[in-house]
Amino acid sequence: MKKVVGIIGGMGPLATVDLMNKIIQRTPASKDQDHIHVIADNYTQIPDRTTAILGKGANPAPYIEQSARRLEEAGADFLVIACNTAHFFYKSADHAVSIPILHMPKETAVFLKKNNINKAGLLATSGTLNTKLYQRSCESYNIEVLEPDSKMQEAVMQGIYAIKGGDLEKGHQNLLAAAKKLLQEGAEAIIAGCTEIPLVLTSSSNMPIIDPTEILADMVIETSLGLEERVQA
């Protein structure tokens, strides 16, 4: 019997729908009943994660814990968080429930290891960069992470918030420029470390984009169907 997944969402709404779409698109199914039971809490009232991490906004942890408990009570067997930066509050959510929560940055590091990528560029919110979520996860597998300089990071943040506001063209321009610079500095691939980024950047032969949401969607499918594999650090 398939396990039920609960999505702690609303961070932002497009990213939540994107994760759900990828789970549906990547599930091997020939009819409705073959798909995974997904319960999503599109809780858009969760305070901004980046401003909180930078000490300038309300703490989102209680809201994330509330969402996790709501999903567990609704019948979820395991949870995922549809936001990279929100993984800074992963332990709070994990302590709030008795069911497991998949960790997107750790799953991404496992994917990079499996695919022999030793140096990756990271595009993410300033909050995610400051938390070192991806850097530490990748370090466990001896993967070097390159980050934008401060000026380029300002442009990345402008791009991310443009996407959240619906201006996909501005988001694409800002993020494409940052990705190209990281590749010039020696990155073998770019980690799209914010769930909005893959909405405007797609992978190509000269610009490999690693989409953690796709990786998480695959892990949701494998976990639900009982097919999990792990690479040892």
For residue 138, indicate whether it is catalytic: no
CB burial class (10 A; 0-12, 13-18, 19+) of residue 8? Answer: buried
Task: Output the CA–CA distances (angstroms, integers) from residue 224 to 37, 41, 90, in the order listed.
Answer: 9, 18, 20
- State yes or no: is 194 an active-site residue: yes
Residue 131, H or E segment:
helix 126-131
Strand order in the sheet with 38-42: 38-42, 5-9, 78-81
Catalytic residue among 36, 68, 83, 192: 83
Question: ω before 57 within 30° of 0 (cis)?
Answer: no
Only one residue has tokens 């930066």, namely 85
Give the closest residue to 4 by CA, choosing from 22, 23, 21. 23
Q: Which entry of 191, 194, 216, 217 is annotated as an active-site residue?
A: 194
d(CA 51, CA 125) in angstroms, rounded, equals: 10
Specify the 3-state DSSP secondary structure of 197: helix
Q: State the catalytic residues.
A: 83, 194
